[in-house]
Amino acid sequence: MVGQLRRQSVEENAMELFITGGTGYIGQAVARKAISRGHHVTALVRNDTSVAASALADLGVKLHRGDLHRPQSFAAIAGAAHGVMHMASTNDASAAAADKAAVDAMLAHLHPGASFVYTSGTWVYGNTEGAAATEATALNPTPLVAWRPAVEQHVQTLAARRSIAAVILRPAMVHGHGGGVFGMLAGMVRQTGSVRVVGDGRNHWPAVHVDDLATGYLSAVERAASGDDRVTGQIFNVVAEDAVAVAEIGEAIRASIGADRVEFWPLDDARKSLGPFADALALDQSASGQHARRVLGWEPCGPGLVADLSSQKHFQQSTGA
């Protein structure tokens, strides 16, 4: 009887959710979390026969084939959902224009009362000079994401005009399961023999485990859809650890994968290979996630960044081990 009541409760609270970026690192974690909570999920995919898309289908996610560059290929499907979580980016020179066009199209199709979660990030704060950035901190975005604050504001304005419950999430550096930037850093060892850290290693990064971040997305979309006035129109830093020393991060990766050394990569040299991404990696940041804890009831429980990176199995996939 207890099990039956729990199943009935899950079914009554189930939402129709649409996600972009579902085959990406963060999107896959969000899809898993959403399905585990009993929601019905449709994911935008470019290729519905890819390994990542097949993994989503195995979870019970419905695949919708479309292209972020062509909002008309998915806007109507998104508009039929109770909630949308937008996590995709083209990650190219068109990223700003494509993101705004996708936002415009989805918000134009969503019905009043629906929820919309937009993905930004703590890089919009730039260097924080040792103080922990809160959602009220003035923005000084690194060049790679200089366009994001304007899209954040556009989302809030357009959503309010259409009575859609929008939430802006600013995740910290995301780790877990060998992916994200940390998987990239580990993968570079195959070319250089060392873990390359942009700058002198004295900078810091805020961090969050990808599974905890997924919980944050679901808390945001669910609470916004429920009409919680404390959530609608708000911005939340999704941060588990305020500041982790980059030198410690580099050493944890080195020890985990058995690299020869940690190499400190001068920013000017790194720019030649990485462009503005190098400036993002050189940021010295601290950020607070207390607002998300208080308002969303978000409680991160995953491993800390250094402990996670120190696990041998963390990088097996990234390094091909």
Question: Which 3 state secondary structure label does DSSP give 169?
Answer: strand
Beta strand 195-198 with 204-209 is unpaired
- Specify the pLDDT at position 316: 54
The pTM (predicted TM-score) of the whole model is 0.93
Closest CA to 155 of 126, 123, 115, 121: 115
DSSP state, 72? G
Torsion of CA 272, 275, 277, 282, to 10 degrees: 50
**How far apart (Å, rounded) are the C-alpha atoms in residues 260 and 32?**
36
Closest CA to 61 of 96, 102, 94, 33: 33
DSSP secondary structure, 207-249, as one string: EEEHHHHHHHHHHHHHHHHTT-TTTTT-EEEE-SEEEEEHHHH
- Specify the pLDDT at position 130: 87
**How far apart (Å, rounded) are the C-alpha atoms in residues 31 and 193?**
35
- Specify the pLDDT at position 237: 98
pLDDT along the chain (321 residues), means of 10: 40 86 97 98 96 96 97 97 97 94 98 98 96 97 97 98 98 95 90 92 97 98 96 98 97 93 96 96 98 98 95 54 39
Is residue 200 within 8 A of residue 262, CB to CB? The reply is: no
Hey, what are 85's tokens? Answer: 């979580």
